[in-house]
Structure formats: C-alpha cells, structure tokens
Amino acid sequence: MEWNIPTLKELEEKIWKCTACGNCKSAYDYGPPPEFGEICPPGVAFGFEGYLASKGKIAFARGILSGELEWDEELVDAIYKCTVCAGCANQCELDHKPYIPEIIEAMRRKAVEDSVGPMPSQKKIVQSMKSYDNPYQGPRRVRTDWTRPFKKAKKPIKDINKEPAPILYFVGCTGAFNLPVRGVPVATASIFQKLGLDFGILGQNEICCGSTAMRIGEADEFKRVAEANLKTFRKLHEEKGVNTIVTSCAGCYRAIKKDYTLSSDYDKMMEGITVIHTVEFLYNLYKEGKMNFSGGLPWKVTYHDPCHTGRHLNKYKFDVDGTIAWKDAYLETDQSECLYDIPRELLKAIPGIELIEMERIKDNSYCCGGGGGVMTGYGDWAAKNASLRIEEGMNTGAEYMISICPFCHYNLNEGSKRIGSSMKLYDLVELIDQVLPETEEA
C-alpha cells in the first residue's frame, strides 16, 4: 500500500507562504466591537514566540529546512509542546492555511527520522502499539472488559469476527482501556441495543486507529496499523456485510476519515463502507423519528467542541487553475463535515437540558490541551491546559461539560480534579442513554 504522507521538504513551498503577520496568535471575532481570545495552549503557557501558534512553528520549519536551526533539546521540546489543535490554522487566511497542522506534523516526522523525536515519554506509545496494538500498554484481553455488564445482563454484544452485521462499532483504545471513560462505549452499545440495531465489535481483534502515532510523527507505526485496519474493514465488508463503521472517538474518526485517505488504496478498500461518528449516526436516526427521548435531565450544561470533530474536518476550496485569484490560492473553508451543530441540536432535544455556551466555541474552540501526544508527553501540563477550559466552562454557570471525544473527556476530567472544580464531565451518548427508553425499534 502506497502512502502520500508529505515530508517537510515537500511542504517547503507552503512554508514560505507565511508572512509572519501573527494573526494566528489569537482567535478573532471582528465584531463590532472587535474581540479576541487566546487560542494556542503552548502560547498561553510559555509565551515565547517559538511556542506560539503557527507563526512560531513555521519559523522553526524554515530554520530546519535551511539548516540554520539544528536539533537541540529546546527545539524538539517546542515542536512537541503543541496539541496540533489547528486553532492557529483557523485564524490564518493565506494559501498555506490548510497545510498548517501537516507542517507541524511533518516537522515531527523529520524529528523521528533524525532520531531526536518523539519525546522520551511518548516513545512508550510506539512501544506499546508494537507490543499490544494500543497506546495504553493494555493487554488485548482487557479491550473487552467494558462489555461485562452486557454479558451479565444476558445482552451480549455480537462478535463481528464470528457473526455478520451491517454496523461495526469501532470502539477505540481510549474508551476501551481508559477506566474513567469506559462509560462511553457502555452508553453507545446500550443505545444501539435499545434501538434494536444489528451491530458488532471486533473485540480483542480491534487494533489502534493510529491517530496518536501520526500526531507525534511516527508515520511508520501509523501506516502499519492503518493498513491492517483498512484490510480488516474490506474483509468485514466482503465477508460479514459491514457497510457502516460507527465510532464514538473523535481521534479514531479523524484518522479513519481523513488520515487514511492518504493511502493510495483508500477508495478501493472503503468502497461501500461509510464512516460516521456516533453522534451524527444517532442524529440521523433522531431526525428520521427513530429515536425519541422520554423523561428528562434538568441540567445546565456547556459543550466542548473537540478539535478532531471540528477544525480537523475542514475542507478547503482552492483556485485550482488560477481563474479566480491565482493558481492554488486558498479561497474558502467548507465546514459542512465539522460536527458543530449536530451535538448541540441533540443536546437541546433532550428534555430539561439548558445549554449555555462558552466564549470560544466551534471553529474557535479552545483545545482541551491533551491532543497531539501532549497528554502522554507532558501529562501535568495537559491537565493544566484542561483546567483553563474547565474555568471557561464554570464561568457560564453550567454544572456539566459535555463533549463527544473520550480523549477530551479524560483530560478535561483531570483538569477539573486538578483545580477542585465541581464541573462534571459527560459524553453526549451518556446523556442520551439516560433518556432513551428500552422499547425503541430502529
């Protein structure tokens, strides 16, 4: 399988488009009155220009390419102290805008190639993936521990390796191995069973999607698991009738939907298969009148937009032949695949829920602070970042913060505990499961 993952050198032309204007340092609302807010977690924490937004990162990329900068501990640290949240890319309006997260990750790939990356604590991610096919050093048998309540209740979840089903629920490593967020797969499977959906899981045969490996520059490990997953998806389609892959993890969703398209075989392997986030899948059923809620939750909630179900799903329009502006000019951003309104509409559909928005939302959402390998590389700092987001949520008067990413959920929970906040974290599926009666039929 061939992969079109660009090197830093291949992105050089894009890198030189940056004018160092600095617009990427803050999230702007042009008003009136004009306002701006912080958007870059390392910029907030460390201030120093090199850590701050794409302006700093691109300056590093130029230095590395020209040879003016040589790898040292500080440079590697600055490149890895970035959550690859794409908040900076959201502010830039020049032609390299769409490539900014790619430029940051290409620098990391170069660091790995030159044997200076990833950060020492991130190396265990790769080691664990090689040994266990997950980044959490969890034995394979633990992957299905969350299914125990279903077995006990005599409502076992179908093993798709053995029985056919049109829907594969791709659980993801975070929901399966991370105890505090196991409620996410439990609620998802419970909802699917209540709706009478014919679905199955890969169980102990599920392997990591490769998202974290890709984010930290470990392209070879990403390719290994991505190729294995694409082959599994094809086999499941042909032999078990799978036509829909549903995932409740924002990282898996972004990886399968976007990173996997870098494979030359993507269209062939995914023909006849749709990848969809749980929330969009449930929203479609809700709109078709196949999912109705009963009872209610009299909760004041705020909603955190994960970067991987938001800005990372942007599509960009270019002037391909130069007839509108100039050849390859960036024209506009298409946000139609970003999950901004769908989770909000579902939240509002739950009787009793009062949604109070934070200041930085949707494409200007402030990252939970743990992405891009930061939670493993710099755990304490990731939790500090999350505390800032929790404080923003607390300022709304909400008692609960809802999201649709187990990874954000875990990190925000750590951030809440760190400052002794009473803010509780829930995934949207956990709320839906509470108000969905047993009797629904899809």
Which chain residues interact with ligand SF4 by CB under 6 A?
18-24, 39-43, 53-55, 57-58, 82-88, 91-92, 94
The least CB distance from residue 35 to ligand SF4, in Å, is: 18
Q: At what angle do helices 219-240 and 123-132 cross, to 10 degrees?
A: 30
Q: How far is residue 92 from each of residues 21, 327, 347, measured CA to CA in Å? A: 9, 18, 31
Q: Distance between CA 360 and CA 392 in Å, rounded?
A: 9
Question: Quick one: the chain helix, strand, coil %, rounded to 5?
Answer: 50, 10, 35
- If the CB atoms of residues 23 and 421 are measured against ligand SF4, the closer one turns out to be 23
Those residues whose C-beta lies under 8 Å from the C-beta of residue 268, and which sit 6 or more positions away, are none
In 3D space, the residue among 118, 140, 119 whose CA is nearest the CA of residue 129 turns out to be 140
Opening angle at CA 219, ends 214 and 222, nearest 5:
65
Query: What residue has token string 């929790």?
Result: 390
Rg, C-alpha atoms of the chain: 21
- If the CB atoms of residues 52 and 301 are measured against ligand SF4, the closer one turns out to be 52
- If the CB atoms of residues 100 and 160 are measured against ligand SF4, the closer one turns out to be 100
Taking the alpha carbons at both ends of the chain, their separation in whole angstroms is 38
- If the CB atoms of residues 89 and 346 are measured against ligand SF4, the closer one turns out to be 89
- If the CB atoms of residues 17 and 290 are measured against ligand SF4, the closer one turns out to be 17
Residue 333, φ and ψ in degrees, nearest 5: -105, 135
- If the CB atoms of residues 355 and 390 are measured against ligand SF4, the closer one turns out to be 390
Paired residues of 318 in beta bridges: 330
The least CB distance from residue 78 to ligand SF4, in Å, is: 10
Q: How many CB atoms lie within 10 A of CB 224?
A: 18
The least CB distance from residue 377 to ligand SF4, in Å, is: 13
- CA count, 13 A, side-chain hemisphere, 437: 8
The least CB distance from residue 94 to ligand SF4, in Å, is: 5
The least CB distance from residue 298 to ligand SF4, in Å, is: 36
The least CB distance from residue 334 to ligand SF4, in Å, is: 19
- If the CB atoms of residues 242 and 374 are measured against ligand SF4, the closer one turns out to be 374
Strand ranges inside 278-359, DSSP E:
300-303, 315-319, 329-334, 354-355
Q: At what angle do helices 73-80 and 53-66 cross, to 10 degrees?
A: 140
The least CB distance from residue 62 to ligand SF4, in Å, is: 11
The least CB distance from residue 422 to ligand SF4, in Å, is: 28
Q: Distance between CA 20 and CA 44 in Å, rounded?
A: 19
- If the CB atoms of residues 16 and 295 are measured against ligand SF4, the closer one turns out to be 16
Q: Beta strand 400-403 with 300-303: parallel, antiparallel or unpaired?
A: parallel
The least CB distance from residue 367 to ligand SF4, in Å, is: 6
